[in-house]
Amino acid sequence: MDSPFALPAIVLVTVVTLAIGAYGVRFARTTSDFLVASRTVSPGWNASAISGEYLSAASFLGVAGLVMKYGADVLWYPVGFTAGYLAMLLYVAAPLRRSGAFTLPDFAEARLGSRRLRLLCAGFVVLIGWLYLVPQLQGAGLTLGTVTGAPYWLGAIVVGVVVTANVATGGMRSITFVQAFQYWLKLTALAVPAFFLLLVWRAGGTDSLTAAEVPVFPTETMVDIQVDVSVNVVEPVSLVADGVIDGTAVDGPLSWAPGRHDIAQGAVLTFPAGAPVPHADQLDTLDNATWGTPLSTGGGHPEFPLFATYSLILATFLGTMGLPHVLVRFYTNPDGRAARRTTLLVLGLLGVFYLVPTVYGALGRLYTPQLLLTGQTDAAVLLLPGAAIGGVGGQLLGALVAAGAFAAFLSTSSGLLVSVAGVLSTDVVGRGSVAAFRRAAAVAGIVPLGLALQVVSLDVSVVVGLAFAVAASTFCPLLVLGIWWRGLTDAGAAAGLLAGGLLSTGAVLITVLGGARGGWLGVLLAQPAALTVPVAFLVMVVVSRLTAARVPVDVGRIMVVLHAPESLGVHRRAG
Amino acid sequence: MHQEVPVTQLTRREISQQDYERIHTSTEFAELRKRFRGFAFPMTVVFLVWYLLYVLMSAYATGFMSTKVLGNINVGLIFGLLQFLSTFVITAMYVRHSNKNTDPLADDLREQLEGKTPDESGTTEKGTTRA
């Protein structure tokens, strides 16, 4: 924290990203970038670009934060983020390439011949894009706040406005080269400090991770309380406090008996070295052995870990194919064989990347345990280098991590905003003129900003998980049934989209706005996919059966186009 | 991207009735689909079972899963990280299967349907660029 290099590094990354974007646009202005790229991009570049666009703030900050809090269970987030590509490759990618549809609304209209269905799909693309944008802005607020001390809302607004203005003026497009650069920047920014952290950990002889104990403060630690928090004290602890504690103003030594204590915003607590860390109220105080045991926390749902875990697996496996900024990237492959090689490389790149946040999450329990008190474990990646290494080296590594985090949400949110604004301007308002696109970009940027200001207390990866749940409950059934089942009708597709979409979106909104937390209802709302995905499939099949007369007459031909190998020549582009 | 509404091949491209009949009824096409399914469906079952097994073992074989291997690094944690590897291995197997078993058949089918005429404007698996 307080690294003097962090702010310049963030500014530098932002400027460089914008500059490369502006420069790249000169090549890509006349023709669709994706078509241009499709002739020239090798699987290696392409895989880097896909990974670069995919690895968002959730992956960069969020996975480490969740691992720190909940341990082994949340490995399913990164495993699912990765395995989603396998599900997409096996069942969706190749047929969709053959269909020639660039976006999900295109596919829906082409497959089922319904303009109204197209609009419905456009609506869900926008919704999922927004949900996915929220945690990016949230990450931005957190990062700026952590490195400069600015309030959360300021960071979110500054970044939301910068990205929106940039996209609206045609600055940053999804240029393969920029996105590929982003992957390597993110990996470097995370892996290099991780390497030094591991060295320090080994050299320091701090081996608390191998002992079954609750995290303790490694040195005397001062904690600034930025938002009101309640903590749960398990072992008695003495501290020095300055601020409002349990409703009374305190300035001096204090000792806490086991139980719940409320700390008001603005308080400063100082804990001696070796004191056990009181955990934020919503967290269970885990000793390190429980932390490392799978299914002990259910990622925050200790009562129903099995359901929560299955639901998460379903959402991430099936949701990837429905994310607006993921599918379109597969068109940059020249042929099916290259697409498969690309996917394999993407899985490798993502797998390597995700090992690193796991390291941060584990070391966070040793070096930055105060985050378990405040609950803001998403900041672990940002704070660890300074806390564990210290000195100029720690500050430089801290700046590197902060810059990487900024790269993460700049690339992902720009890609998403372009997709959302594109759909808004072509399908919802106007007919795709440049002016309409600019207005659409403004709308597309403001809505998630509003939501981002609401969700301060949620973990960024959890919010991203919700976007996956909605995608899995809507576009996954549409794509899978649309590609593999002749009997699908437009009415069936619409009914299934609405059923899965409304249920999952409702659950998401209640969770985001801080509704039900505990019990069956809580876990169902926080991890809705295990219920909403089967419901969406079922409704789609049943309503299609009931409206069997509406099966498109040319379904046989469409199926041949979708399933005949590309080399047969039926996919020859006309003209 | 945003200024143009992309026209899809499904609507723009007409497959002649003759093409459709030929492909649809050819034994190679049926064989091709069979080979895809023969691999993809069992493989899906295998990987789902493997993932679900991990979760079930975490729930009901806690003793085994929390066996310490190195410090607090236990069997469960290692299995968790192995999920990355297994996903990668399954994908690699699919890529190999496609390259070895389905692609050559697709090429045969194409030669048979189109004669030896080179496909000037189409995308081919052999890397011919688009016109």
Q: Is the per-residue pLDDT at B101 higher than 50?
A: yes
Work out the percent of chain B whose per-residue pLDDT is above 70. Answer: 63
Q: Check residue A22 and give its pLDDT.
A: 66
Q: Check residue A30 and give its pLDDT.
A: 41
User: Which spans in A389-489 are helix H?
Assistant: 391-423, 434-452, 460-484
The three-state secondary structure class of A21 is helix
Q: Would A208 be classed as within a structural domain?
A: no
**Residue A477: other Cβ atoms inside 10 A:** 28
Same domain for A15 and A73: yes
Measured between alpha carbons, how far is A536 from A469 in angstroms, rounded to an integer? 12
* Strand residues in A162-314 grouped as ranges (E): 221-224, 229-233, 237-245, 248-256, 259-263, 268-271, 279-280
Measured between alpha carbons, how far is A297 from A361 in angstroms, rounded to an integer? 15
Same domain for A480 and A384: yes
Q: Given A276, A304, A327, which residue is the final one in a domain?
A: A276
Taking contacts as CB-CB distances below 8 angstroms, the residues of chain B near A110 are 8, 10-11
Nearest-CA distance from A154 to chain B in Å?
30
Report yes or no: A79 at the B interface, CB cutoff 8 Å.
yes
Q: Given A226, A247, A276, which residue is the final one in a domain?
A: A276
Per-residue pLDDT of chain A (575 residues), as tens digits, is 467 888 888 888 888 877 766 665 555 444 344 444 445 667 888 888 888 888 887 788 888 888 888 877 788 888 888 889 888 888 888 888 778 777 788 889 989 988 899 999 999 999 999 988 888 888 888 888 888 878 888 888 888 888 887 777 764 455 677 778 888 888 999 999 999 988 888 777 655 555 557 788 888 888 888 778 888 888 888 888 888 888 888 888 888 888 888 888 888 888 888 888 888 877 777 777 677 666 666 666 767 778 888 888 889 999 998 887 777 776 667 677 888 888 899 999 998 898 899 889 888 888 888 888 888 888 889 888 888 887 888 889 989 999 888 888 787 888 788 888 888 887 776 565 677 777 888 888 888 888 888 776 677 877 888 899 999 999 999 999 999 898 999 999 999 999 999 999 999 888 877 665 667 888 888 889 999 999 999 999 999 999 999 998 888 888 888 887 665 555 544 32
Taking contacts as CB-CB distances below 8 angstroms, the residues of chain A near B77 are 72, 75, 292, 294
Same domain for A471 and A558: yes
The three-state secondary structure class of A229 is strand
Taking contacts as CB-CB distances below 8 angstroms, the residues of chain A near B3 are 432-434, 437
Structure-block tokens of residue A285: 């105080």
Nearest to A363 by CA among A382, A388, A386: A388
Q: Check residue A574 and give its pLDDT.
A: 35
Q: Check residue A541 and give its pLDDT.
A: 97
- Tell me the ipTM for this assembly: 0.76
Closest chain A residue by Cα to residue B24: A560
Closest chain B residue by Cα to residue A345: B88
Measured between alpha carbons, how far is A547 from B38 in angstroms, rounded to an integer? 31
Asked whether the beta carbons of residue B95 and residue A90 sit closer than 8 angstroms, the reply is no
Taking contacts as CB-CB distances below 8 angstroms, the residues of chain B near A311 are none
Same domain for A373 and A244: no
Same domain for A425 and A379: yes
Q: Check residue B128 and give its pLDDT.
A: 35
Residue type, A419: S
Task: Find the CB nearest B84 among A82, A100, A109.
Answer: A82
Asked whether the beta carbons of residue B66 and residue A347 sit closer than 8 angstroms, the reply is no
Crossing angle of helices A460-484/A490-512, nearest 10°? Answer: 170
Q: Check residue A173 and give its pLDDT.
A: 52
Taking contacts as CB-CB distances below 8 angstroms, the residues of chain A near B85 are 351
Q: Check residue A340 and give its pLDDT.
A: 85
Q: Which of A111, A290, A337, A570 to mutate to test the interface with B (most CBs of B within 10 A)?
A: A570
Report yes or no: A504 at the B interface, CB cutoff 8 Å.
no
Residue type, B78: I
Please give the residue that has the higher pLDDT: either A477 or B87.
Answer: A477
Measured between alpha carbons, how far is A513 from A499 in angstroms, rounded to an integer? 21
Q: Where are the domains of chain B?
A: 19-113
Measured between alpha carbons, how far is A234 from B74 in angstroms, rounded to an integer? 25
Same domain for A301 and A271: no
Reported confidence tier of residue B120, pLDDT bands at 50, 70, 90: very low
Measured between alpha carbons, how far is B32 from B98 in angstroms, rounded to an integer? 10
DSSP per residue, A42-68: -HHHHHHHHHHHH--HIIIIIHHHHHH
Q: Which domain holds residue A223?
A: 216-276
Residue type, A346: V
Please check whether residue A379 is in contact with residue A103, taking contact to mean a CB–CB distance below 8 angstroms.
no
Our CA angle for A538, A540, A543, nearest 5°, is 100
Asked whether the beta carbons of residue B76 and residue A294 sit closer than 8 angstroms, the reply is yes
Measured between alpha carbons, how far is A429 from A445 in angstroms, rounded to an integer? 15
Please check whether residue A49 is in contact with residue A180, taking contact to mean a CB–CB distance below 8 angstroms.
yes
A294: region left, alpha or beta (phi > 0 left; psi from -120 to 50 alpha): beta
Q: For position A374, which CATH number holds?
A: 1.20.1730.10
Same domain for A55 and A185: yes
Reported confidence tier of residue B122, pLDDT bands at 50, 70, 90: very low
Q: Would A100 be classed as within a structural domain?
A: yes
Measured between alpha carbons, how far is A62 from A139 in angstroms, rounded to an integer? 8
Closest chain B residue by Cα to residue A574: B13
Q: Is the per-residue pLDDT at B47 higher than 90?
A: no
Asked whether the beta carbons of residue A556 and residue B43 sit closer than 8 angstroms, the reply is no
Taking contacts as CB-CB distances below 8 angstroms, the residues of chain B near A211 are 72
Taking contacts as CB-CB distances below 8 angstroms, the residues of chain A near B20 are 556-557, 560
Nearest to A307 by CA among A295, A316, A324, A291: A295
Report yes or no: A188 at the B interface, CB cutoff 8 Å.
no
> Which backbone phi and psi does B69 adopt, to 5 degrees?
-105, -45
Q: Check residue A489 and give its pLDDT.
A: 95
Look-up: residue for tokens 């930025």?
A: A226
Measured between alpha carbons, how far is A396 from A4 in angstroms, rounded to an integer? 9
Q: Check residue B19 and give its pLDDT.
A: 67
Q: What average pLDDT is seen over chain B?
A: 69
Asked whether the beta carbons of residue B15 and residue A557 sit closer than 8 angstroms, the reply is yes
Nearest-CA distance from B92 to chain A in Å?
6
Same domain for A496 and A524: yes
Q: Which of residues 8-67 of B touch A (CB under 8 A)?
A: 8-13, 15, 19-20, 23-24, 29, 32-33, 40, 43-44, 47, 51-52, 54-55, 58-59, 62, 65-66
Same domain for A223 and A108: no
Measured between alpha carbons, how far is A408 from B46 in angstroms, rounded to an integer? 34
Torsion sign across C-alpha atoms B44, B46, B51, B57:
positive
Our CA angle for A292, A215, A523, nearest 5°, is 55
As for how many domains chain A has, the answer is 2
Please check whether residue A159 is in contact with residue A143, taking contact to mean a CB–CB distance below 8 angstroms.
no
Task: Find the CB nearest A310 among B24, B55, B119.
Answer: B55
Torsion sign across C-alpha atoms A567, A571, A575, B3:
negative
Q: Check residue B127 and give its pLDDT.
A: 37
Report yes or no: A75 at the B interface, CB cutoff 8 Å.
yes
